[in-house]
Amino acid sequence: MSAQTTRSPRLALLPTISRQARRVSVTILLGLVAVWLGYNLVQSPAQFATVTLTGITVGAIYALVALGYTLVYGIIELINFAHGDVFMWGAMMAISIGVGVFGLDGTQTGIVTFALVIATLLGCMAFCATLNVSIERLAYRRLRNAPRLAPLITAIGMSFILQNLAAAIFGFNYRSVENILPTTAIFELGGVPYRWKSLIVVLLTIPVLLALVYLVQRTRQGKAMRATAQDTEAARMLGIDVDRTISFTFALAGALAGAGGLLYIYYFTQVRYDVGFQLGLFAFTAAVLGGIGNLTGAALGSLLIALVQNYNEGLSYGAPGSDWTQSIVFTILILVLVFRPEGLLGEKASDRA
């Protein structure tokens, strides 16, 4: 008995020591990253600023995809691995509608181009919303009460189905478009221009994100979504149509993916059938980093992941290079899952209960 009493204080100290060790490790790691970034900033400030601005632009695209992950997970706790491929289909439809139907080729005047891009955007959002709802009804709805492994495997299967369908219809090679968004420079940093098309991507993304936050937090449908996410059975007892609410969530996530797909193809100007797989995993990592289920966290995580990618691929001093981007991003995912699974802005499971 006395021996047990003697050991108890030591055992009680173990969680505290573990937490302190993790904090020290994270502090050292962040310190090294800060030193590396600071060195690049001092050595080449223009390059550092340009890479940062590019990261913000890419982060805006990632955010639209990451929000789709976090919406679906938040309401039915499903990691929809097919979501990245819905985004890819949005990019393909941006080419089919914008170029094939409206004839967008960069030669139109500014006002006409803007109107046609908005019309294409609405078409892509409607198509991807319909596609995502169809996937939910055909593949996921019957598996809601199944073991969690079943819908997860189904989501991976749907991802490959969407990829192969795209390859069969659009081919295995890259599809390209002309520079539809204006490429004139707004300003230059060390001779490197920051172009209007980069700013347009950010300016189109911000209203979409604000509208989403307003919809979820202020509207009746948003309240139904939050109630369903909190307790499905209680929401059904209160008269909420749970199936309709879940379908609406998938439609909303699909519409965001469609918007992201359009911005992606008009920014990078090329897309292939498998581009959604890697970008989807990056966006999922961003959602986990920010706190999956948290809208603000998904946007923040997307910005951070995009900055990590662009710093790694764009800085000249000490950056491992593009070959290491996937390894770095997935290392971040593993570290977050191990040390802070609730993410930067997420709540612990005990806090949500």
Mean pLDDT of the region 203-223: 87
Tokens representing residue 268 in the block? 């990078």
Give the DSSP per-residue string, 53-82.
HHHHHHHHHHHHHHHHHHHHHHHH----TT
**Tokens 């420079």 belong to residue:** 185
pLDDT tens figures, 71-116: 999 888 888 999 999 999 999 999 999 998 998 887 877 788 889 9
- d(C-alpha 282, C-alpha 23), whole Å: 25
> Whole-number mean pLDDT of the chain?
87
**What is residue 9's predicted lDDT score, i.e. its pLDDT?**
57
pLDDT at 258 over 70: yes
In this prediction the pTM is: 0.88
197-211 CB burial, b ≥16 within 10 A, e <16: bbbbbeebbeebbee
The pLDDT assigned to 1 comes to 45
Q: What tokens does 8 get?
A: 């108890």
Q: What confidence tens digit (pLDDT) does each residue in 300-335 have?
A: 999 999 999 999 998 888 888 888 898 999 888 888
| pLDDT confidence of residue 353 | 40
φ, ψ for residue 62, nearest 5 deg: -60, -35
* pLDDT of 3: 47
By the 8 A CB rule, do 346 and 294 touch? yes
Contact 250, 82 (CB under 8 A): no
- Given a contact cutoff of 8 angstroms between Cβ atoms, the answer to whether 314 and 295 are in contact is no
For CA atoms 137, 292, 241, 255, give the dihedral sign. Answer: negative
340/350 Cα distance (integer angstroms):
14
User: pLDDT digits over 21-54, tens only?
Assistant: 777 877 888 888 899 999 898 988 888 988 999 9
Q: What is the pLDDT of residue 180?
A: 86
DSSP 104: -
CA distances from 157 to 116, 133, 251, 258, 294 (A): 35, 16, 20, 21, 26
Give me the pLDDT at residue 350, please.
43
Helix (H, G, I), strand (E, B) or coil at 194: strand
Residue 160 has pLDDT above 50, yes or no: yes
Beta strands (DSSP E) in the chain are 175-176, 185-189, 192-195, 270-271
Q: Are 270 and 264 in contact (CB under 8 A)?
A: no
In angstroms and rounded to an integer, the radius of gyration of the C-alpha atoms of the chain is 22
Is pLDDT of 243 > 80?
yes
Higher pLDDT, 12 or 268: 268
Please work out, in degrees rounded to the nearest 5, the angle formed at the alpha carbon of residue 346 by the alpha carbons of 139 and 285.
55
Q: How far apart are CA 151 and CA 81, in angstroms?
A: 10
pLDDT at residue number 249: 94
pLDDT band (50, 70, 90) for residue 348:
low
Q: What is the pLDDT of residue 351?
A: 46
Do residues 228 and 242 make contact, with C-beta atoms less than 8 angstroms apart?
A: yes
Query: Under 8 Å CB-to-CB from 31, ≥6 apart: which residues?
Result: none
pLDDT at residue 16 greater than cutoff 80: no
